[in-house]
Amino acid sequence: MKSFIRWSAMLTLVGSVLFGSLFGAGTRAFALPDDQVMERLDTVPVFTLVDGSGSLVVATFSEQEDAPPVATVFISHQGAENFLRNMQTSNPEIAEGVRIAPISLGRVYEIALAGQEEENPLQVAFIPVRQEVDAALAILEEDGQTVEEFPGVPLFVAKSGEGENEAILTIRRGEEEVIPMYFSEADIQAAIAELRQSQPDLADTVRVEVVPLGRLIENLRTSDNPELNQIYLVPPRESLEFIRSLQERAAEQQQQQTPAP
């Protein structure tokens, strides 16, 4: 279930968010089925807004009757907190009862997928972390690309070699060889620092490239590139630590409420 409110006055708080459907019109003949796309995305906790009953809050940023509903999804909990705090100050009536809830990126995909069957399809506004956007723009600029605004949420990936010898770096995860893609530039730099300790020759040729999350999701749905089956999204360390703290708090509360034998 979704709770709907109109936030026409909140547009300036959203800033340069990438608006648009997650779903394009590309062919899916050889692409991953939706359940496998969700599995790839499920590793990443993100944060959204819900009402008092726990229903997802969607909004419209236009006064037009047919304006599409938008679900706002924050990559960081801090970003969600800042947004809600601003909303409580500028629009306290709208913000009443609204709270932040963690949700997996896979669940966001599932909700967006279900919303496509509605007359006015649900769109998703991903709110990136400003620090990561700045890092992505710096990488593109160093690579000779001029981009005034990064299109959405950046993902960082490590490559090595040049020309025909260029390769995406992989890691072992259990029995699988996976391609890690990081939401945090600091996290990928920490991984490269570990590589310098274990394989200094390889680390000397490593560079970081950046791709938009929206493009990756669309590629998962439409591309027949077998390397996409190896993608593993690495959540921000900060998000994992926050989710872990919530789980520990919930366990402590449950333990306190459990009567002694």
Q: What's the CATH number for 130-243?
A: 3.40.1350.100
Is 9 a residue whose pLDDT tops 70? no
Residue extents of the structural domains in the chain: 2-127, 130-243
Task: Tell the residue number behind the tokens 């060889």, with chain if given.
Answer: 177
| CATH topology identical between 2-127 and 130-243 | yes
- Per-residue model confidence as pLDDT tens digits over 11-54: 333 333 333 444 554 444 456 788 888 988 999 999 999 988 88
The reported pTM is 0.83
Pick the closest to residue 128 from 78, 188, 69, 63 (CA basis): 78
The pLDDT tens digits for 66-94 are: 777 788 899 999 999 998 998 898 888 88
Task: Write out the DSSP string of 161-180.
Answer: S-GGG-EE--EEETTEEEEE
Mean per-residue pLDDT for 55-76? 78
| Residue 58 β-bridge partners | 4, 71
Distances (CA, A) of 26 to 18, 22, 120, 233: 19, 12, 20, 23
Q: What is the pLDDT of residue 104?
A: 94
Query: Whose structure tokens read 């995305």?
Result: 41
Residue 135 has pLDDT above 90, yes or no: yes
**What is the second-level CATH architecture of the domain 2-127?**
3-Layer(aba) Sandwich (3.40)
The backbone torsions φ and ψ at residue 147, rounded to the nearest 5 degrees and listed phi first, read: -130, 120
136: left (phi over 0), alpha (psi -120 to 50) or beta: alpha
Query: For residue range 193-248, what is the model confidence (pLDDT) as tens digits?
Result: 888 888 887 777 888 999 999 888 888 888 878 888 889 999 999 999 989 998 88
